[in-house]
Structure 1
Amino acid sequence: MSDLIISLIQSDLHWEDKNANLAMFGEKINGIKEKTHIVLLPEMFSTGFSMKPETLAETMHGPTVEWMKRVSASRKVILAGSLMIEEEGNYHNRLVWMLPNGQLGFYDKRHLFAYANEHEHYAPGSKRLIAAVNGWKVNLMVCYDLRFPVWARQSPDTEDGSPEYDLLVYVANWPERRNHAWKTLLQARAIENQCFVAGVNRVGNDGNEIYHSGDSMVVDPMGAIMETIVHDQGIITITLKRDTLNDVRTKLPFLQDGDEFNLLT
């Protein structure tokens, strides 16, 4: 199986201004000159972490999803990030996984951040999304999900006995005041699941004057930070080595000793 190249875009966001954010991310994506397979954007990348879905949410045929489709096709990359989606009378904080051919998958954030009243505005998801690319399996999650390890735990009961996924992704708007938890938990998820972890966060103040230091990072299956950006806007493009993953899982076969359990997926 081949290696996987991913790009994480850490950026400030224009508060509740879709057009400005889409234009900004379009420029940043076009500025990626290295080869990459996946481009990861922060949580609610088109608006910031807003509790106004009644005025800002779109459908799956709205302008932001259509923008993702165009950018993914033109750059021939998988594009992923979350946005507000309205569906059947409910609002979702939905991560969209857009393929260059226009096909997509999505994951609705399961753990809603009650501390900021997210649960009063959005409906929780109930199913995980594990996508496939270049022989890799990618588990896609959103921000606050990071605090709930069971939702991300590798299950030992797959049909062929192999791990469920190889890369765990979190797209986030995680405040600087709790960045110690962000950094520690990203490393913990990598260690306990013997996988690569990518966490992409925003930077700067949001519309509520909450500061975000970013701390976007990629972590290897042993929990070591491979690359990170703190406080500044920037892009991480990094190659994840299949051999590294295989070596860890072969030499330290801890996953096979895990407890058997089933998630509601």
Structure 2
Amino acid sequence: MDALKITTFQAYLFWENIDKNLSNLALKLSAIREKTDLIVLPEMFNTGFTMNAEQCAEKADGKTMHWMLEMAQQYDCVVAGSLIIEEAGNYYNRFVWMTKDGNYITYDKRHLFGMAGEDKVFTAGTQRVIVDLKGWKICPMVCYDLRFPVWTRNLNGAYDILLYIASWPDKRSSHWRSLIPARAIENQAFVIGVNRVGHDGNEIYYSGGSMCISPAGDVVYYKPEYEDLYTFTIYRRDLDDTRRDLPFLKDMDDFSLMGISRKS
């Protein structure tokens, strides 16, 4: 499939209020007026980026997972975002890729943000995951993963899209704006970053800056400061042309990376 249509929601989130967030997100998503293949929500979209895992965690069959399935069925697409999941006494910042038939794939955030104490509360993931959507290979990542290029290196052209969901604060927004294009250029892939906006319960301000950067480093979409629900289309020919005209991936260093699996 040449084209893939993606809807990103740069959302304002209500602090640790699952019911209010799910209700508000459903209301805002009702503004979607065109068929889309994928809806992407920010990191911890149902609570905000909280370390209060014990209070905010859900099981894998909890209300947020059911809500994601409902949205996937309503909009006939995949719905993706992360939430806090409790499993066997451990807490995970878990990216969920929910399909309309109720099947889902998960990726647990690998790099936990020590400056916020995330590493003291959550268990780090150990497996990189690649999912398939309409023939596009997509590698999901969560926020702080953006700072670690080895973990995201596009070994053997394993993916076409690198997808980051985040709660990335405004005070480091220049890093966000620099690193996402860098990942696109070095990996010759589309890179999509979906951030949130507004203040959280710790009075940390998030200024959005959600974007899509092409494999050539061109801006497909960029939105700072305001809540934004936006649908855009990417084209495989742009990916193929870049990799054909600038065949850099074949010259990358040869190394192995533990903890990589493929799921589709």
Instruction: Give the TM bin, normalised by the shorter chain.
Output: over 0.9
Look up the match of 2:112: 112
How does 1:159-238 map onto structure 2 within 5 Å? 163-238=157-232
Tell me the CA shift for residue 2 of structure 1: 2.5
Tell me the CA shift for residue 244 of structure 1: 0.5
Look up the match of 2:262: none
Asked if the contact 2:7–2:231 (Cα under 8 Å) also holds between the matched residues in 1, the reply is yes
Tell me the CA shift for residue 58 of structure 1: 0.5
Q: Distance in 2 between matches of 1:260 and 1:3?
A: 31
Q: Distance in 2 between matches of 1:129 and 1:38?
A: 17
Q: Distance in 1 between matches of 2:38 and 2:232?
A: 10
Q: 1:264 aligns with which of 246, 252, 258?
A: 258
Tell me the CA shift for residue 260 of structure 1: 1.2
Are 1:63 and 2:69 an aligned pair?
no
Gaps of 5+ in 1: 157-162
CA deviation digits over 1:111-158, x for unaligned, max 9? 0000000001000000011100111000000000000000110112xx
User: Which residue identity does 2:254 align to in structure 1?
Assistant: E
Q: Distance in 2 between matches of 1:247 and 1:73?
A: 34
Asked if the contact 2:35–2:75 (Cα under 8 Å) also holds between the matched residues in 1, the reply is no
User: Which residue identity does 1:37 align to in structure 2?
Assistant: D
User: Which residue identity does 1:236 align to in structure 2?
Assistant: Y
User: Which residue identity does 1:250 align to in structure 2?
Assistant: R
Give the alignment's Cα RMSD to 1 decimal. 0.7
CA deviation digits over 1:215-265, x for unaligned, max 9? 000101011221111111111211011111000011111000111111112
Q: Which runs of 4+ in 1 moved over 4 A?
A: none
User: Which residue identity does 1:143 align to in structure 2?
Assistant: C
CA deviation digits over 1:59-85, x for unaligned, max 9? 100110011011111211100000000
TM-score normalised to structure 1 length: 0.96
Gaps of 5+ in 2: 260-264
Look up the match of 1:155: 155
TM-score normalised to structure 2 length: 0.97
